[in-house]
Structure 1
Amino acid sequence: MMLARNAESLYWIGRYVERADDMARILDVAIHQLLEDATVDVDRQARLVIQVLGLEAPDPDELMDVWSLTERVAYEKDSVGSIVDLIRSARENARGAREVTSSEMWECLNTTYNGLGDAERRARRLGPHEFLSYVKNRAAMFAGLADATLSHDDGYRYLLLGRSVERVDMTIRMLLSRAGDRVSSPAWVSVLVSAGAHDTFLRTYRGVLDAENIVEFMLVDRLFPRSVFHALRVAEQNMGDLEKRTSRVGAQGEALLLLGRARSSLEFLEPGRLLDDLQDRLLELQDTCREVNEAVTAQYFHVSPYVSWADARVDTEDHVIEESEL
């Protein structure tokens, strides 16, 4: 039986690393677009990126540009939810759960965190892409190490559950950023690029860049790992394995029910109608992510009031994003 604090740490490590990776991807694409298009309203687009990422809105009197956007999303150490803050939080959770993570996973997160300063200095000389590429590459390394060096037991399932729930939320944010655009808008392609899906999409749809196809691929594709449906299915499978309960009447925990309903709602969507009420559907799925997080926390991480962990104060600080971001 895994301690609740270790299970919670693994769950949040999965979420923090995935969020840092996805934020780096989204910011990288946004910066490229801002620098390429001289006609765009930089302040408006920068605020939209911050809104999409769920970060605190900047001061209305502050004029945002590419550099202040990068500062807010990537570099700020004292800003809750920045990329640096997310990696720090993942590292601190790994530090407190060394007995249930591999030494390679810890070394990866620790080295990643310690290398952020050098990556930032290079980025300030050469451009933000240097820092964002560093984060993306290190997140990919961590995912590979977790898969290869961690026993695929309950600890691994908590890590995958956290990663999958976060991936659903972040993919939804990518789609929401374009949900109000015209079907013919070329901006839809940014969703594919942000998710690292552009090449796979072109091979799947034979190069036809159509908004309906893009939404279909990112929302309900069964095989692409960053699609909402695929991430929901992975989360549901790991949640089911964690429950380990049999019941003749099919009674299930709330989190598993929520995941199953969300997956079913996408599985039986009528083809060709995905753009109808897209924003409402995405917001509903985002609410489901929040409810799943609350259900998982209540079911697995909350201990009896009379039990007190010595490091409870650290855990509270590490998980401050839970209330403000989800």
Structure 2
Amino acid sequence: MLSRTAENIFWMARYIERAESTARLIQMGQRMTILPGPIHREEWRSVLRVTGCDGLIDGDRAVAEADIVQLLLLDETNPSSIRSCMLRARANGRAVRTALTQDMWEALNDDWRRLEQYDVASARRNLAELIDWVKTRASTFRGAVETGQLRNEGHDFLRIGGALERAEMTLRLLDVKYYVLLPETAVVGGGRDHYQWTSVLHALAAARAYHHVYGGGDYSPWRIADLLVLNQQFPRSLSFCFGQIGWHLDRLAQAHGRRGAAHDTATMMLAELRDREGGEIFEEGLHEFVQNALVVTNRLSREIAQTYHFN
């Protein structure tokens, strides 16, 4: 497979996953802002922070929902916005149209101009519907991949890109919880703390999985962290994502007859995750773990580009 084709497929998958994850992040921010608490809470700024967009708004003023809708949903010039991600995913897909099935292309192409119809005010009125639309588009694309795409190199690069983006956003969503709670350490274990942790589960479609693994309604923060980081069966956990990355990188290594730094990084990270015990990450410091893991995911992305000669 040509390096340019592989790169387009890799980034197409990342942009689709990023659009959905940003939608889930906005949804979680909404859930957190309805909680009673100190007037200076800045849940929306924490959402901007984990998307790398906090510098777009002056640090002296509070961030409002309207800012989030403009920057993370509608702004075509912001590479982290949903609109930008969906446009880029479509552009990547168009560049490799012959490598996609008809259903995959239709999932990318269907109603792709929809967000052009909205300004901030109308998007806010229809925000729940728009978030559901983004999640449905991503699910439709993944369904088309699952049922129609050949399990060839293109599929490997697509799965690696999607899993890497998903791992990164799971880590960033966990960091939203950290940033929101940081100024209010006195509420750890309280009602608002409980609601924030359940909001993380809902944002990652993990509430039912949590019940299956742990049962009951005891939403322990360390258990939630373990589910989202260490559980090898939950598809949005860091461990599951790195398992997928490693498996598809191994397939590529067999096809090309060589391994690179990316393979070593994925193997190392997966081994570290599987050596961890329950509760260990939370006890040692969730924020520190998340920051270190984000460094690894960013390095791995660069190493994949180097190994397979992305431009």
Letter in 1 for 2:275: F
Gaps of 5+ in 1: 304-326
Identity of aligned residues (%): 23
Structure with a larger share of its residues in helix: 2
Distance 1:272 1:125 in 2: 39
Distance 2:233 2:41 in 1: 37
Letter in 2 for 1:87: M
Counterpart of 1:54 in structure 2 is 52
Counterpart of 2:292 in structure 1 is 284
Q: Do 1:119 and 1:134's aligned partners in 2 also have CA atoms closer than 8 Å?
A: no
Seen in structure 2, the aligned counterparts of structure 1 residues 41 and 227 have a Cα distance that, compared at 3 Å, is farther
**Residue from 265, 271, 277 that aligns with 1:270:** 277
Counterpart of 1:37 in structure 2 is 35
Q: Provide, for residues 148-167 of structure 1, a one-character-per-residue CA deviation record: whole Å limited to 9, x for no partner.
A: 12111110110000001111
Q: Alpha-carbon deviation of 1:124? A: 2.9
Seen in structure 2, the aligned counterparts of structure 1 residues 38 and 210 have a Cα distance that, compared at 3 Å, is closer
- What is the correspondence of 1:221-300 to structure 2 with a 5 Å cutoff? 221-244=231-254, 252-275=259-282, 276-300=284-308
TM-score normalised according to structure 2 size: 0.89
Seen in structure 2, the aligned counterparts of structure 1 residues 18 and 41 have a Cα distance that, compared at 3 Å, is farther
Seen in structure 2, the aligned counterparts of structure 1 residues 280 and 121 have a Cα distance that, compared at 3 Å, is closer
Seen in structure 2, the aligned counterparts of structure 1 residues 164 and 112 have a Cα distance that, compared at 3 Å, is farther
Distance 1:222 1:53 in 2: 26
TM-score normalised according to structure 1 size: 0.85
Distance 1:13 1:5 in 2: 12
Q: Alpha-carbon deviation of 1:53? A: 1.6
Counterpart of 1:219 in structure 2 is 229
SS at match of 2:279: coil
Distance 1:160 1:103 in 2: 18
Q: Alpha-carbon deviation of 1:54? A: 2.0
Gaps of 5+ in 2: none
The list of structure 1 runs, each at least 4 consecutive aligned residues, that deviate by more than 6 angstroms after superposition, is: 119-122
Counterpart of 2:163 in structure 1 is 164
Q: Alpha-carbon deviation of 1:56? A: 4.6
- What is the correspondence of 1:96-245 to structure 2 with a 5 Å cutoff? 96-118=95-117, 124=123, 126-179=125-178, 181=181, 184=189, 185-186=193-194, 187-207=196-216, 208-244=218-254
Q: Do 1:9 and 1:93's aligned partners in 2 also have CA atoms closer than 8 Å?
A: yes
Moved more, 131-140 or 56-65: 56-65
Seen in structure 2, the aligned counterparts of structure 1 residues 123 and 217 have a Cα distance that, compared at 3 Å, is farther
Q: Provide, for residues 137-195 of structure 1, a one-character-per-residue CA deviation record: whole Å limited to 9, x for no partner.
A: 11110111111121111101100000011111000111122236465221222211110
SS at match of 1:243: helix
* Count of matched residue positions in the alignment of Structure 1 and Structure 2: 298
